[in-house]
């Protein structure tokens, strides 16, 4: 990218507005009006060829007539004039451009966009956009956009690829209880993209959580790297994760969205929480901006309504943080001041009579207990206690407990008083939701956040014993023969260069050769005709399996060659492949796809009907640490098969994890070369017996 | 139940308040105050031993001093006095009691509750409660409860087992956009339960949708029958569907909640839509009360924001109504007035410039097109068009289209103006939601509603060729021997009495017998020792399989008996079972559990690791029609296995559906006798080759 100085663009000390308008309601007018209404403390220079004053501000006829330095220029002139204006900004020494104007790449005008970027590059200017709404920042009192007013203040900063959505969310921030510190529209991302803004927001004091609305992530590797370095929680809503959604997105943005599974793997790798919808993005980002991640699995629920407690326990299981009964000592503590008809199990049901005097000690003691990792407080409004009093009690209990590293969320069900109570809570740092399942989901988001951070903190050690040069030599040979599909034996050799346990094989070109190879491999063996002209080897009678001895090898050698010749007299025959007969075991499948944006992703699943019928597979972005390789084994629905079912012995998980570890390193190191690969089938044997890859397949990148 | 006259209790022409209080704020005072504030048009008789007037109303010293007829009595006296008051009401001829008072079955006071019910029974009075909040009805201007005010008016009537939740939802109806026609608290359901109220609400004009909050459904069969007869949509939120939630519910209500899968099967059988949470109950019931069910699968989305359109397509797939591209003729119609940069595919993206003039014809033409079954309209608020104008345009487009049998929902994202627009829409019959995924989910609810109704409309024809008497005779024999576990051969005979394809077997008590039976069955056969004293037959050397001929049978006959004797010399030996060796096929498992509330439920799943590792099974409540049996085959994740995978031929679906059909009839007809049963394993063969049940097992009810 064009250097990394985006700071003065995103937090300018002075702004020029190129294309300011004298007509109220026009975008060029709104830009100036909004900056002034936002009470921006920096300097503002409206640029207009003829006007002398707009909205009480002195107007300059051109950018170079401005006497002082300009950090950022907001550009809102017709698309065709943008490059010229950019050039003038460049000459003036402007540090960054915020190009509001649309009509560039998003409508196919790629040349115009490239022209703009060439100029920016020439003058070392960073560009936000084109095709953006602008930047809105509560912390800087800066509304450099054509939408108003500034959002409800909050601790979430949102980066959006859709300007329309950003504008609507800005308005919605006031009606919902979810505020924003900054709203940043990234539009076409011709220069500044998610990775840049995420990285910059990491140092922004007012931002406690970064929320993304993404239709496409172009430079995936940079995204993963940038997000991985950020200490603040990041949550992303990716549009186009469904089959038809991806198709609709393609027609909307003109770009093909990656597959949902690859995106999920990317977000995991980057430590980014994935939102399931717009409401979920709102709910979870609020919690992520106000509360600490939930570091363990023990969720406590305190409620004044039994039914709502049960619903919350249901929701907790649904959202992946299932409730357990609380330890006896905590229950005993609670029993000391709660009436006998209250339940101390979890959910703690204080019953309908509970007021601040029961809530206060219950919450304080629950939160303080070392077993508890996170707390959801529920209140069902009735005729009795004032919800606002309960809200204040929650805040007080948290403060008195002195605990600030465990998350707390709340839900009040009721009328206006409950609304008021929840507003008070949010303003005092505790996320509160209209329905209990949203309070639970918010906590599940904080739980996921901690889990992802833990994953990020893995050693990061990658398998390093692969013989890359050996693999490259094999690949180069194929390339020299204009092939992008490696032969079976080549693929096996590439796999073997990373110490992957491929079934042994070798090409025999004579009967004696065949016997020699078979003896080396050990009996039994399989034999297959090798000919570039015979695709369906079985149909040609070119395959013999389970050959037990030298005599069998000699017989088979002649019969497969004769069969092949009879099948296709013109076929060029290169020899006969002698292959180890791998003993059958638990069938698995490994694979890799080289995503244009994110690089190689690794797939793992159970083989056979599991992959064919149930699509029971999981993806991760390469390379994997050994910990991640181990994690991957538990991510499929059929994971229990590895532990042994129906009386079978447990499988060699350790060896399998090691295989994934090595395989991920192979496809990562050779990302420039390998476009797709798989190991299908492979067999996992009993503990200590390892893994055997029966068939390996490698396709090369064809655009090299 | 005590006769079915609940009409005068739920819609009384006159009410007495037994236990009215003179003290403001007391429940007995609130009851009267709320009735008066609600402007109830019927007659009200406060009963108090000493007061002469409360809130301007004449007070009567006792129920029998009231000069006129009383339809319903609200009872709010201490629990111990309730039976006496009920007696007085009975003598007066009161038709129904609404027992507000708590302290009965819910705290273990079952005797007191029984005493109350005995009196009610004696005087032929119906009882709502005890332990209820009361009844709130906008249509009758009746607030016979201690909570106020009446809910925001709407077309949903809610029945709740939790009074606290009902009270909170009443308050929440005003802050949300979701009103209620009636709120009915059913408390302990000592008499009137869900089934009664559902049945009654079916004739209530103001009720367009019935919503339930249920912790336990006691008389499940009556519930299924009552709900099945109702023509209005019913939606239920069942608390305790998670493992821990069920445990929490048990500690909350003292009753064991049924398993989640059985409840889902029950709701399906009853045609009841299941809500996933409180928010979902609100959202879906609003749509169900305002819009027609969605009869086909074709969902159309019209939006002014591409990104929001993509998010909606994602949500549509997630909620089970995946979007497809619209037919070319409809797209062509739309293109005639839409600009070229708009997308007509689906989502129809009118782009950010769209105002009423583009929305109106787009919506009208989309809704009118025969391909379209349901419509979601999205609007992203920006600086331009007024959301309220768009709202009015939606209503106008629907009206002008003349279409009233296809559902429409909407979502506006934005600020106060969008809020106002959505309020207007709801008031004008179109459900509107803050986020697009909720509008999609609401439509998915309407889709499910139509699907359930379709399922209900199945022929209803049940398998009727089962020989119940034959089965009963076998069961009676076991009972006469004090057994509740049928022997293998008995279980096979019971299955066979319903023409189920069990593997043949017969008991041999001599070598000659064994040979004769084996010849009848056809070779190969398996042989097993039969002894009540030997549980682990294989360990005892008591099993021989794959016996090919008479000689083998003779040898095996002696060897299993000798082995058994050697293994346990004291064992009583009844003979040797000769069994058909069923050819292996696609392994499945069938089962039945007899739920105390709902009667027998049928389970179907793929056998082996599918059931053991993936728990890939589905349940339905018996009996099944042949259509339902067929449906069941597609409900498991591994359904594609029946179509043949990995080159295997398709399986005999028809025979399998027939097996489920017969099996469901068997366990239904014998529900009094059979507590559990299974067929595990059973094999499904290629088309035309049928099904074979290898092992059948039947447990009898022990409490008979």
CATH number, position B386: 3.40.50.261
List CB contacts (< 8 A) between A174 and chain B: 415-416
Encoding tokens for residue A688?
């200590």
| Contact criterion met (CB < 8 Å) for B641 and A147 | no
Nearest chain A residue to B643, by CA: A613
> DSSP of A573-625, one letter per residue?
--EEEEEE-PPP-EEEEEEEEEETTTEEEEEEEE-THHHHTT--EEEEESS--
- What pLDDT, in 10s, does the model give residues B451-498? 998 877 666 788 999 999 999 999 999 999 999 999 889 999 999 999
List CB contacts (< 8 A) between B213 and chain A: 307
| Strand locations in A440-571 (E) | 505-508, 525-530, 543-547
Domain finish residue from B556, B581, B606: B581
- What pLDDT, in 10s, does the model give residues A59-80? 999 999 999 999 999 999 999 9
Confirm whether B484 is domain-assigned.
no
The pLDDT assigned to B253 comes to 40
d(CA B82, CA A20): 79
Q: Is pLDDT of B250 > 70? A: no
The pLDDT assigned to A3 comes to 39
CATH number at residue B539: 3.30.1490.20
SS3 content of chain A, % helix, strand, coil (to 5): 40, 20, 40
d(CA A126, CA A2): 7
List CB contacts (< 8 A) between A325 and chain B: 247
Q: How confident is the model at residue B234 (pLDDT cuts 50, 70, 90)?
A: very high
CATH number at residue B67: 3.40.50.720
d(CA A274, CA A271): 10
Mutation site for B-interface testing, chosen from A152, A170, A242 by largest number of B Cβ within 10 Å: A242
List CB contacts (< 8 A) between A240 and chain B: 310, 313-314
Confirm whether A473 is domain-assigned.
no
Percentage of residues in chain A having pLDDT higher than 70: 97
List CB contacts (< 8 A) between B172 and chain A: 413-415, 418, 434
Confirm whether A485 is domain-assigned.
no
How many independent structural domains does chain B possess?
5
The pLDDT assigned to A610 comes to 78
Q: How confident is the model at residue B536 (pLDDT cuts 50, 70, 90)?
A: confident
Same domain for A105 and A235: no
Residue pair B106/B48 in contact (Cβ under 8 Å)? The answer is: no
Residue-range definition of the domain harbouring residue A528: 504-581
Cis before residue A623, ω within 30 degrees of 0?
yes
d(CA B482, CA B471): 17
Q: How confident is the model at residue A255 (pLDDT cuts 50, 70, 90)?
A: very low
Same domain for B437 and B299: yes
| Contact criterion met (CB < 8 Å) for A307 and B346 | no
DSSP structural state of residue A259: P
Same domain for A267 and A127: no
| Contact criterion met (CB < 8 Å) for B434 and A381 | no
Mean pLDDT of B247-269: 66
Same domain for A321 and A450: yes
**Three-state helix/strand/coil letters over A126-158:** EEECCCCCEEEECCCCEEEECCCCCCCEEEEEE
Confirm whether A496 is domain-assigned.
no
CA gyration radius, chain A: 32
> DSSP of B191-258, one letter per residue?
S--HHHHHHHHTT-TT-SEEEEEES--SSHHHHHHHHHH--S-EEEEES--SHHHHHHHHHHHSSPPP
Q: Which letter, b or e, does each residue of A671-685 get, where b requires 16 or more Cβ atoms within 10 Å of its Cβ?
A: bebbbbbbbbbbbbb
d(CA A632, CA A630): 5
Output the pTM of the full model: 0.91
* Of A149, A74, A382, A206, the residue nearest B415 (C-alpha): A149
Q: A288-297, A594-603, B113-122, B454-463: lowest mean pLDDT where?
A: B454-463
d(CA A224, CA A266): 7
CATH number at residue A690: 3.30.470.20
Q: Report CA-CA distances (Å) from B540 to A494, B176, B488, B529.
A: 53, 69, 18, 9
Check residues B355 and A243 and name the one with the higher pLDDT.
Answer: B355
Confirm whether A601 is domain-assigned.
yes
Question: A271: which residues sit within 8 A by CB, 6+ positions away?
Answer: A227, A228, A230, A234, A452, A453, A455, A456
Nearest C-alpha of chain A: how many angstroms from B638?
6
CB atoms within 10 A of CB B188: 22
Same domain for A560 and A440: no
Mean pLDDT of A453-481: 88
Helices A356-368 and A387-401, axial angle in degrees (round to 10): 30
d(CA A567, CA A433): 72
Half-sphere exposure of B424 (CA within 13 A, CB side): 18
Check residues B288 and A461 and name the one with the higher pLDDT.
Answer: B288
CA gyration radius, chain B: 32
* Of A264, A268, A213, the residue nearest A241 (C-alpha): A264
Same domain for B119 and B215: no
Nearest C-alpha of chain B: how many angstroms from A630?
19
Q: A432-436, B205-209, B538-542: lowest mean pLDDT where?
A: B538-542
List CB contacts (< 8 A) between B242 and chain A: 313-314, 316-318, 322
Residue A484 sits at φ, ψ, to 5 deg, of -110, 0
Same domain for B111 and B37: yes
Q: A208-212, A216-220, A227-231, B56-60: lowest mean pLDDT where?
A: A216-220
Rounded to the nearest angstrom, the gap between the alpha carbon of residue B480 and the centroid of all alpha carbons in its chain is: 38
Mutation site for A-interface testing, chosen from B27, B109, B176, B245 by largest number of A Cβ within 10 Å: B245
Torsion of the alpha carbons at A18, A19, A21 and A26, rounded to the nearest 10? -120
Confirm whether A478 is domain-assigned.
no
Mutation site for B-interface testing, chosen from A25, A263, A384, A415 by largest number of B Cβ within 10 Å: A415
Q: How confident is the model at residue A257 (pLDDT cuts 50, 70, 90)?
A: very low
Mean pLDDT of A345-349: 94
The pLDDT assigned to B4 comes to 59
Mutation site for B-interface testing, chosen from A109, A245, A416 by largest number of B Cβ within 10 Å: A245
Task: Give residues 16 to 55 of A whose Cβ lies within 8 Å of B.
Answer: 30
d(CA B180, CA B158): 7
Confirm whether A116 is domain-assigned.
yes
Same domain for B299 and B260: no
Name the burial class of residue A328, with classes exposed (0-12), middle (13-18) and buried (19+) by CB atoms within 10 angstroms of its CB.
Answer: exposed
The pLDDT assigned to A54 comes to 95
Q: What is the ipTM of this complex?
A: 0.89
Check residues B201 and A571 and name the one with the higher pLDDT.
Answer: B201
Beta-bridge partner residues of A160: A185, A213
**Lookup result for tokens 């042989």:** B527
Same domain for B283 and B298: no
Nearest CB to A383; choose among B107, B147, B310: B147
Same domain for B303 and B255: no
List CB contacts (< 8 A) between B249 and chain A: 310
Pairing of strands A543-547, A525-530: antiparallel
Residue pair B560/B529 in contact (Cβ under 8 Å)? The answer is: yes
| Contact criterion met (CB < 8 Å) for B306 and A162 | yes
Nearest chain B residue to A308, by CA: B165
Nearest CB to B242; choose among A247, A318, A380: A318
Beta-bridge partner residues of B158: B183, B211
Q: Does the beta carbon of B608 lie under 8 angstroms from any beta carbon of chain A? A: yes
Q: What mean pLDDT value characterizes chain B?
A: 92
Same domain for B300 and B445: yes
Q: B165-179, B243-257, B309-323: lowest mean pLDDT where?
A: B243-257
Q: What mean pLDDT value characterizes chain A?
A: 92
Q: Does the beta carbon of A123 lie under 8 angstroms from any beta carbon of chain B? A: no
Domain finish residue from A290, A314, A342: A290
Check residues B246 and A281 and name the one with the higher pLDDT.
Answer: A281
The pLDDT assigned to A459 comes to 61
Domain finish residue from A563, A581, A599: A581
Confirm whether A243 is domain-assigned.
yes
Same domain for B299 and B236: no
Q: Is pLDDT of B255 > 60? A: no
d(CA B350, CA B362): 9
Mean pLDDT of B42-61: 95
Residue pair A123/A177 in contact (Cβ under 8 Å)? The answer is: no
Polymer length of chain A: 704
CB pairs under 8 A between A and B: 280
Beta-bridge partner residues of B662: none
Nearest C-alpha of chain A: how many angstroms from B261?
14
CA angle B625, B631, B634 (to 5 degrees): 155
Q: Is pLDDT of B564 > 60? A: yes
Pairing of strands A43-47, A14-18: parallel
CB atoms within 10 A of CB A11: 18
Q: How confident is the model at residue A250 (pLDDT cuts 50, 70, 90)?
A: low
Q: How many H helices and E strands in chain B?
A: 23, 29
d(CA A437, CA A429): 19
Torsional class of A187: left (φ above 0), alpha (ψ -120 to 50), beta (otherwise) = left
Rounded to the nearest angstrom, the gap between the alpha carbon of residue A230 and the centroid of all alpha carbons in its chain is: 14
Mean pLDDT of A155-174: 94
């Amino acid at each position: 990218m064009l250097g990394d100085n985006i700071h003065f663009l995103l937090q300018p000390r002075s702004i020029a507005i190129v294309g300011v308008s004298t007509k109220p309601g026009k975008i060029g007018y709104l830009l100036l009006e909004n900056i002034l209404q936002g009470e921006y403390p920096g300097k503002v220079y409206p640029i207009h060829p003829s006007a002398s004053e707009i909205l009480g501000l002195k107007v300059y006829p051109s950018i170079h007539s401005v006497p002082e330095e300009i950090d950022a220029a907001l550009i809102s002139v017709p698309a065709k004039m943008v490059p010229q204006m950019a050039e003038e900004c460049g000459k003036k020494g402007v540090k960054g451009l915020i190009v509001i104007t649309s009509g560039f790449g998003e409508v196919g005008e790629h040349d115009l966009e490239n022209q703009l970027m060439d100029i920016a590059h020439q003058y070392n200017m960073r560009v936000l956009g084109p095709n953006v709404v602008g930047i809105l920042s509560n912390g800087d009192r800066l509304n450099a956009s054509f939408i108003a007013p500034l959002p409800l203040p909050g601790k979430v900063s949102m980066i959006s690829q859709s300007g329309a959505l950003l504008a609507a969310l800005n308005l919605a921030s006031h009606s919902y209880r979810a505020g924003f510190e900054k709203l940043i529209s990234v539009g076409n991302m011709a220069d500044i993209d998610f990775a840049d803004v995420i990285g910059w927001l990491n140092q922004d004091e007012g931002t406690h959580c970064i929320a993304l609305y993404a239709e496409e992530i172009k430079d995936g590797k940079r995204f993963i790297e940038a997000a991985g370095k950020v200490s603040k929680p990041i949550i992303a809503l990716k549009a186009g994760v469904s089959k038809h959604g991806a198709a609709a997105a393609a027609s909307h943005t003109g770009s093909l969205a990656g597959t949902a599974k690859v995106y999920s793997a990317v977000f995991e790798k980057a430590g980014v929480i994935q939102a399931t919808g717009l409401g979920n993005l709102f709910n979870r980002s609020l919690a992520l901006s106000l509360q600490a991640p939930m570091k363990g699995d023990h969720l406590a629920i305190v409620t004044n309504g039994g039914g709502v407690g049960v619903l919350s326990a249901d929701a907790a299981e649904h959202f992946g943080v299932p409730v357990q009964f609380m330890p006896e000592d905590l229950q005993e503590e609670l029993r000391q001041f709660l009436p006998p008809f209250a339940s101390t199990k979890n959910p703690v049901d204080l019953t309908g009579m509970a007021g601040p005097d029961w809530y206060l000690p219950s919450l304080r003691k629950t939160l303080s207990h070392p077993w508890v990792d996170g707390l959801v407080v529920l209140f069902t409004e009735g005729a009795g206690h004032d919800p606002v009093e309960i809200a204040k009690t929650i805040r007080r209990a948290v403060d008195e407990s002195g605990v600030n590293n465990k998350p707390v969320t709340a839900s009040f069900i009721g009328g206006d008083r409950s609304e008021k109570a929840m507003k008070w809570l949010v303003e005092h740092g505790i996320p509160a939701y209209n329905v209990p399942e949203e309070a639970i989901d918010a906590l599940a988001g904080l739980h996921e956040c901690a889990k992802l951070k833990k994953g990020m903190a893995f050693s990061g050690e990658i398998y390093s014993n692969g013989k890359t040069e050996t693999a490259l030599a094999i690949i180069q040979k194929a390339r020299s023969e204009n092939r992008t599909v490696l032969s079976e034996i080549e693929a096996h050799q590439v796999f073997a260069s990373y110490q992957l346990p491929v079934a042994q094989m070798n090409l025999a070109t004579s009967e004696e050769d065949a016997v020699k190879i078979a003896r080396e491999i050990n009996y039994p063996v399989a034999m297959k005709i090798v000919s570039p002209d015979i695709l369906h080897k079985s149909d040609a009678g070119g395959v013999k399996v389970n050959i037990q001895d030298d005599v069998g090898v000699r017989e088979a050698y002649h019969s497969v060659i004769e069969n092949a010749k009879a099948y296709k007299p013109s076929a060029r025959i290169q020899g006969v492949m002698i292959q180890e007969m791998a003993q059958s075991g638990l069938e698995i499948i490994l694979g890799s796809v080289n995503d244009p944006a994110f690089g190689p992703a690794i797939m793992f699943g159970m083989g056979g009907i599991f992959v064919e019928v149930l699509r029971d597979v999981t993806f991760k972005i390469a390379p994997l640490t050994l910990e991640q390789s181990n994690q991957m084994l538990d991510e499929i629905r059929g994971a229990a098969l590895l532990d042994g079912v129906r009386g079978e012995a447990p499988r060699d998980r350790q060896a399998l994890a090691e295989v994934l570890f090595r395989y991920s390193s192979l496809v990562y190191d050779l990302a420039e070369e390998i476009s797709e690969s798989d190991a299908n089938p492979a067999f996992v044997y009993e503990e200590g017996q390892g893994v055997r890859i029966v068939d390996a397949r490698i396709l090369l990148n064809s655009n090299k």
